[in-house]
């Protein structure tokens, strides 16, 4: 079992902000560098907190997006009911920095990961995890010590086909087993429709999401009708933050990307706009122009190793009519007839990330830009590489 070795490795990483000896400009950073605009990040967070409060709901932001304890703490301070992580290893990173009340949103099925959960429970952390199978639940039951406590949500699926229980008989069987075990507490349900988040066009996205939630809500109400008690129904993502808020059964939103935003999300369109602009882009990749292969093109020092390439290309908001094209592991090319005339070799250009979560996982730090436009500190991405 290698998990205990990895646990200690994660716990030895830095967790809190590191002050720079003196403030620096973005232009002075060694690029490619992940830059976080603190005031835009804070206003995105405040906006989500106000949105859920206005509708009498909570939010449980997904820390898989940022993997950073400093950001998780800011989310809890802004009123979040807790945070989510995708994997047990991310929980190790967050709890090591004092972040508590964590929901693990993926099921686990191996003894090594259950042993880590048990160790976190022994440390006194409040943890919840989803289950979606009897195999997974049995594994948890064989690895949690008699004196430890673990809360459980049942992950439901309708038609995404990733994780989640589809048969209602299995849901009841799981709940009965959980309720018969003193170490476990049945708290409710998770439903996440990842395949709906990026449907283009607000009306289509709304229809798809509410139709799935109506099926899920009916399943949940059938469980309540059996006299079974629970207090949490969590789900939703950034793409449906102002859609799923209408769903009566939901208690809290598991939104992740809204704190940073990315080009993939901006393209899906908002309620009143063909771009999704409800939240500002607070995260950028600072790159430097390093070569000019031809007229109208400039090569920058950021490619697949500094930005996720699973979806759309990065956006170049700073330069009019300029496009980014990936040009390999370490390189990208900016293409534009107009702006290339003003760009020189050695200039720094900030790009909007294509897809924020997997981009963050490629970096060690956020370089945090304050209101004076300078970087005063960097925040460690403690959960970088924590994918198990
Ligand atoms: C289970 C779960 N919940 C919530 C989220 C957050 O989604 P988003 O980043 O779109 O807000 C994700 C993202 O993939 C997820 O997998």
Residues in the chain: 388
The pLDDT of residue 82: 98
Which atom of ligand 1 lies closest to the CA of 239? 10
Encode the chain in three state secondary structure: CCHHHHHHHHHCCCCCCEEEEEEECHHHCCCCEEEEEHHHHHHHHHHHHHHHHHCCCEECCECCCCCCHHHHHHHHHCCCCCEEECCHHHHHHHHHCCCCCEEECCCCCCHHHHHHHHHHHHCCCCEEEEECCHHHHHHHHHHCCCCCCEEEEEEECCCCCCCCECCHHHHHHHHHHHHCCCCEEEEEEEECCCCCCCCCCHHHHHHHHHHHHHHHHHHHHHHHHCCCCCCEEEECCHHHCCCHHHCCCCCEECCCHHHCCCHHHHCCCCCCCCCCCCCCCCEEEEEEEEEEEECCEEEECCCCCCCCCCCCCCECCCCCCCEEEECCCCCEEEECCCHHHCCCCCCEEEEECCCHHHHHCCCCEEEEECCCCCEEEEEECCCCCCCC
Q: Which two tokens stand for residue 155?
A: 């992950």
pLDDT at 350 over 90: yes
Average pLDDT over residues 192-206: 97
Neighbours of 116 (CB within 10 A): 23
The pLDDT of residue 339: 67
CA of 256 to the centre of ligand 1 (A): 6
CA of 366 to the centre of ligand 1 (A): 21
C-alpha span between 92 and 59 (Å, rounded):
21
Which atom of ligand 1 lies closest to the CA of 241? 11
Residue labelled with tokens 């898989």: 64
Average pLDDT over residues 332-338: 91
Which residues sit opposite 24 in a β-bridge?
375
The pLDDT of residue 340: 77
Average pLDDT over residues 186-197: 98
Q: How confident is the model at residue 6 (pLDDT cuts 50, 70, 90)?
A: very high
Q: Under CATH, which architecture does the 14-19+278-380 domain have?
A: Beta Barrel (2.40)
**CATH top class, domain 38-266:** alpha beta
The pLDDT of residue 109: 98
Which atom of ligand 1 lies closest to the CA of 356? 9
CA of 136 to the centre of ligand 1 (A): 21
- Burial class of residue 245, CB neighbours in 10 A (0-12, 13-18, 19+): middle
Q: Looking at ligand 1, which residue's alpha carbon is closest to its atom 7? A: 237
- How confident is the model over 257-316, as pLDDT tens digits? 999 999 999 999 999 999 999 999 999 999 999 999 999 999 999 999 999 999 999 999
Give me the residue spans of the domains in the chain: 14-19+278-380, 38-266
Q: Do domains 14-19+278-380 and 38-266 have the same CATH topology?
A: no
CA of 91 to the centre of ligand 1 (A): 16
Q: How far is CA 75 from CA 42, 84, 180, 236, in A?
A: 9, 11, 34, 17
* b (16+ CB within 10 A) / e for 7-22: beebeebebebeeeee
The pLDDT of residue 1: 84
Average pLDDT over residues 48-59: 98
C-alpha span between 157 and 95 (Å, rounded):
29
CA of 192 to the centre of ligand 1 (A): 7
The pLDDT of residue 341: 77
Q: Looking at ligand 1, which residue's alpha carbon is closest to its atom 14? A: 194
- How confident is the model over 236-252, as pLDDT tens digits? 999 999 999 999 999 99
Determine contact, residues 270/278, Cβ cutoff 8 Å.
yes
The pLDDT of residue 338: 75
Determine contact, residues 261/280, Cβ cutoff 8 Å.
yes
As for ligand 1, residues whose beta carbon falls within 6 Å of it are: 62, 65, 105, 192, 194, 197, 237-239, 254-257
The residue with greater pLDDT, 341 or 333, is 333
What does pLDDT average to over the chain? 97
- How confident is the model over 137-183, as pLDDT tens digits? 999 999 999 999 999 999 999 988 999 999 999 999 999 999 999 99
Residues of the chain above pLDDT 70, percent? 100
């Amino acid at each position: 079992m290698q998990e205990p070795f990895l646990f200690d490795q994660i716990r030895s990483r830095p967790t809190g902000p590191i002050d720079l000896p003196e403030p620096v400009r973005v232009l002075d950073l060694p690029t490619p560098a992940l830059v976080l605009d603190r005031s835009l990040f804070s206003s995105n967070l405040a906006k989500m907190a106000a949105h859920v409060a206005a509708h009498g709901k909570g939010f449980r932001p997904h820390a898989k997006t940022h993997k950073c304890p400093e950001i998780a703490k800011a989310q809890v301070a802004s009123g979040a009911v807790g945070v989510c992580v995708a994997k047990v290893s991310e929980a190790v990173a967050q709890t090591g920095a004092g972040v508590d009340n964590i929901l693990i949103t993926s099921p686990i099925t191996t003894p090594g990961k259950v042993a880590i959960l048990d160790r976190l429970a022994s440390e006194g952390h409040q943890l919840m995890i989803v289950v979606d199978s009897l195999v997974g639940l049995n594994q948890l039951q064989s690895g949690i010590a008699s004196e430890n406590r673990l809360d459980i949500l049942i992950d439901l699926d309708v038609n995404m086909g990733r994780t989640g229980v589809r048969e209602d008989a299995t849901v009841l069987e799981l709940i009965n087993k959980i309720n018969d075990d003193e170490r476990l507490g049945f708290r409710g349900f998770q439903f996440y429709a990842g395949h709906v988040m990026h449907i283009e066009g607000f009306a289509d996205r709304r229809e798809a999401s509410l139709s799935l939630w109506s099926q899920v809500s009916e399943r949940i109400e059938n469980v309540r009708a059996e006299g079974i008690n629970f207090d949490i129904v969590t789900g939703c993502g950034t793409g449906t933050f102002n859609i799923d808020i209408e769903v009566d059964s939901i208690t809290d939103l598991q939104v992740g990307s809204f704190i940073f935003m990315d080009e993939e999300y901006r393209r899906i369109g908002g309620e009143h706009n063909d771009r999704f602009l409800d939240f500002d882009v607070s995260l950028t990749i600072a790159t430097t122009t390093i070569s000019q292969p031809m007229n109208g093109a400039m090569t920058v020092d950021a490619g697949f190793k500094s930005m996720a390439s699973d979806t759309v290309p990065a956006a170049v908001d700073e330069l009019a009519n300029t496009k980014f094209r990936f040009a390999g592991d370490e390189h990208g090319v900016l293409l534009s007839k107009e702006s290339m005339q003003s760009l020189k070799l050695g200039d720094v250009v900030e790009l909007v990330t294509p897809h924020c979560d997997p981009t963050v996982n490629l970096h060690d730090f956020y370089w945090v830009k304050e209101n004076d436009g300078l970087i005063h500190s960097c925040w460690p991405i403690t959960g970088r590489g924590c994918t198990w």
